[in-house]
Amino acid sequence: MDLSVHESGPADAPTLLFVHGGGMSRWMWEPQLAQFSDYHCLVPDLPGHGESAAIPFVSIADCADRLVALIRAKAHRKVATVIGLSLGSQILLALMARYPGRVGRALLSGTLTQPVPGGALLDVGMRAYGPLKNWPCLVRANMRRLGIPDAYYPQWAADTRRTRTRTLARVMAENLRFAPPERLDDVAVPSLLLTGETENPLLQRAAEDLAGRLRNARSGVVQGVGHAWNLAAPELFSDSLRAWLTGSPLPDRITHLTALKTLDVRIGPPETAAVEEDDEDWWEDSQGG
């Protein structure tokens, strides 16, 4: 079964692939779609989420494989600039490690890369949370925790109702045990790794560590925002993305910027990115296939 995908913009323009966070769906990118009508935009619902709720959420790796199939099938020149938040950014890191030739640029925000122990406690917690997850007070509390403006309560509440507890448990397990793929050190995709100022400092350190591992990346802290800052500060997020796409100076509210280690030949506009051979062979070899 194919993912449900919203597609907009001219098909012959460079492609942007937006990947939402866990427990949400593609509506979270609506403010950005309004600002990037000059690009070809692909916005899927991940397995177990939104209109893809009937597709089981299996793993981050499975999501990466599904998204690269989408890039091959629909992206202009079979290459996309990828934009992800939270779980979406973890999935895109896996995609970049396995299929670097399909990604022209990347903007990733709020990326957890330090595995968090306590799987058994998580299972117990999700069993307790499941029957209560649709309570309005809990729905609003989760919105506040993520920095989602109150105006998005209808969309967030609808996603909370639609997403099954077992899906949320699987998503959280994958999110909390995620570690950057070993092959990431070889990836030269120009990448901007951001965190909100009020996010957990663990995420800020993770962005700095990733910038040190990737061959062509930099990290920064966005002042005055939290986790879901594409919704809380949509103009700032869109300005940051367009600056990264065009090679323009980033907004002043992005501070603590690390320097790019290299100026890879693919630092130009995403449509000029060379398409490399996909990396299924090394992945199959590493799995003994």
Q: What is the extent of the structural domain holding 55? A: 5-115+179-286
Closest by CA to 174, choosing from 96, 87, 95, 99, is 87
In angstroms, how far is CA 129 from the centroid of its own chain? 25
pLDDT, residue 120, reads 52
171 in a structural domain: no
| Number of structural domains in the chain | 1
pTM recorded for the entire structure: 0.88
Q: Cβ contacts of residue 268 below 8 Å, gap of 6+?
A: 247
List pLDDT tens digits, range 202-224: 999 999 999 999 999 999 999 99
Q: How far apart are CA 287 and CA 289, in angstroms?
A: 5
Smallest CA-to-CA distance from 107 within 195, 45, 31, 26 is with 195
pLDDT at 262: 62
Residue 207 CA to residue 205 CA, distance in Å, equals: 5
131 inside domain? no
Q: Is residue 140 part of a domain?
A: no
Tell me whether residue 135 is in a domain.
no
What is the per-residue pLDDT for 122? 61
Give the whole-angstrom CA distance, residue 127 versus residue 169.
9
The Cα–Cα gap between 175 and 88 comes to: 10
pLDDT at 119: 54
Residue 98 within a domain = yes
Q: Can you state the angle between helices 153-162 and 136-146, rounded to 10 degrees?
A: 110
**C-alpha torsion angle, residues 96, 101, 103, 104 (rounded to 10):** 140
CATH code of the domain in which 240 resides = 3.40.50.1820
Consecutive H or E run containing 169: helix 165-176
**Is residue 85 a part of any domain in this protein?**
yes
Domain assignment of residue 244, yes or no: yes
Residue 280 has what pLDDT? 47
Predicted confidence at residue 73, as pLDDT, reads: 97
* Stretches in the chain below the pLDDT threshold 50: 264-277, 279-289
Residue 170 tokens read as 């699987």
Report if residue 188 sits inside a domain.
yes
Q: Which residues of 100-119 are buried (b: 16+ CB within 10 A; e: fewer)?
A: bbbbbbbbbbbbbbeeeeee
